Amino acid sequence: MAEFNWVTGLLGGVLIGLSSTLMLAFNGRITGISGILNGAARIDRTTNAARSEVWRWYFLAGMLLGGLLYEFGIATQPTPRSTFAPVAMLIGGLLVGFGTRMGNGCTSGHGVCGLGRLSVRSFVAVCTFLSTAILTVFVLRHGLLAIVK
Amino acid sequence: MNQNLVALFTGVLFSIGLGLSQMVDRDRVLGFLDVAGTWDPTLLFVLGGAVSVTVIAFRFVLRRSQPIFANEFRLPTRRDIDRPLILGAVIFGIGWGISGYCPGPGITALVLGVWNPVLFLGAFIVGSLAHRWYQSRTAGLAESDRPKDTVR
């Protein structure tokens, strides 16, 4: 069992909340990663309106930079690399891509920012995806499918 | 340019937060979702920490008439609880439970130099394109199927 560390968990969460607050205060935008990723993939750099969306690429570049800074600078021990699970990645990624578009957000957009805005819509979304994910893991690890595996 | 620098900085901060809270490790996320196993409550503290900040700080930020580097706040305006919201959250929840990644950690995990996040993000893009196709198709159907002269 992985060692439970609520201090680093809480501190990491505070940084994520701070990041979302700065984004809203300076740029007036919601830090929803699925939305930022989708918008970034859709940017057509030829128009003026599109040029004002280039911040999305900077945010994603910042995420990679932050990941490197943490992993190779701040971390006291390397992040565990989980085992290669291609089928889970392909099916999971497909559903996450489709579902976050249909439901207009993910853990950051509905969770961190939506709950921060006291949005009932986001609260319902968070309760729904959390309970569905818990149920999914239960079925995969302890349900009928776990016996097959 | 100012907005882009803010985006770069907030991206760095967000990712360090994900790293520090170990949400980049999908086994830790799955450990939280696995309530019947050896439950790992870390994610609860992460979400709790993040939302504690936004719930308080957003109130003060939104008291301003406009953001510091932009003309207006671009906030979601919808408040209805409709079928796509629920169904979308269910589909996302299943995908999250299968992969252990949501979009943020999926991106940050790219720096680990393993294949999992690469496959996850590739499939994510295919899934979101599939939704765009689905939406344009159902929007077209809704238009043509709608009875033109029914009055209730």
Per residue in B1-17, pLDDT (tens digit) is 799 999 999 999 999 99
**A70 sits in which H/E element:** none
In tens, the pLDDT along A111-120 reads: 999 999 999 9
Q: Residue B152: pLDDT above 50?
A: no
Residue B40 lies in a domain: yes
Q: How many CB atoms are located within 10 Å of the residue B90 CB? A: 22
Burial (0-12, 13-18, 19+ Cβ within 10 Å), A141 = middle
**Among candidates A67, A33, A59, A71, which has minimal Cα distance to B11?**
A59
Give A63 or B145, the one with higher predicted confidence: A63
Q: Which residues contact B107 (CB under 8 A, 6 or more apart)?
A: A33, A37, A60, A63, A64, A67, B15, B117, B121
**Contact present, A18 and B53 (Cβ < 8 Å):** yes
Q: Which residue in chain A has the smallest CA separation from B90?
A: A129
**A143: pLDDT confidence band, cut at 50, 70 and 90?**
confident
Give A137 or B142, the one with higher predicted confidence: A137
**B25: pLDDT confidence band, cut at 50, 70 and 90?**
very high
Residue B58 lies in a domain: yes
What residue numbers bound the domain in which B32 lies? 2-139
Size of interface A-B (CB pairs under 8 A): 486
Q: Provide the domain count of chain B.
A: 1
Above 0.85 for ipTM, yes or no? yes
Q: Residue A137: pLDDT above 90?
A: yes
Residue B151 lies in a domain: no
Residue B52 lies in a domain: yes
Residue B78 lies in a domain: yes
The HSE-up count of residue B57 (CA atoms within 13 Å, CB side) is 22
Q: Residue B40: pLDDT above 90?
A: yes
Which tokens belong to B35? 């309530």
Cα–Cα distance for residue pair B30/A142, rounded to 1 Å: 13
Cα–Cα distance for residue pair A91/A101, rounded to 1 Å: 16
Q: For chain B, give the mean pLDDT.
A: 92
Residue B46 lies in a domain: yes
- pLDDT, average across residues A129-149: 86
Q: Residue B147: pLDDT above 80?
A: no
- Choose from B15, B34, B52, B78 for mutation: most chain A CBs within 10 A: B15
| Distance in Å, alpha carbon of A148 to nearest chain B alpha carbon | 15
Residue B144 lies in a domain: no
Cα–Cα distance for residue pair B16/B22, rounded to 1 Å: 10
Q: For the range B135-141, what are the long-range contacts, defined as Cβ-Cβ under 8 Å and sequence gap of 24 or more?
A: B135/A101
pLDDT of residue B52: 98
Give A117 or A1, the one with higher predicted confidence: A117
Residue B145 lies in a domain: no
Among A13, A26, A99, the residue with its CB nearest the CB of B17 is A13
pLDDT of residue A123: 98
| Distance in Å, alpha carbon of A31 to nearest chain B alpha carbon | 9
Q: Which residue in chain B has the smallest CA separation from A1?
A: B38
- pLDDT, average across residues A44-53: 68
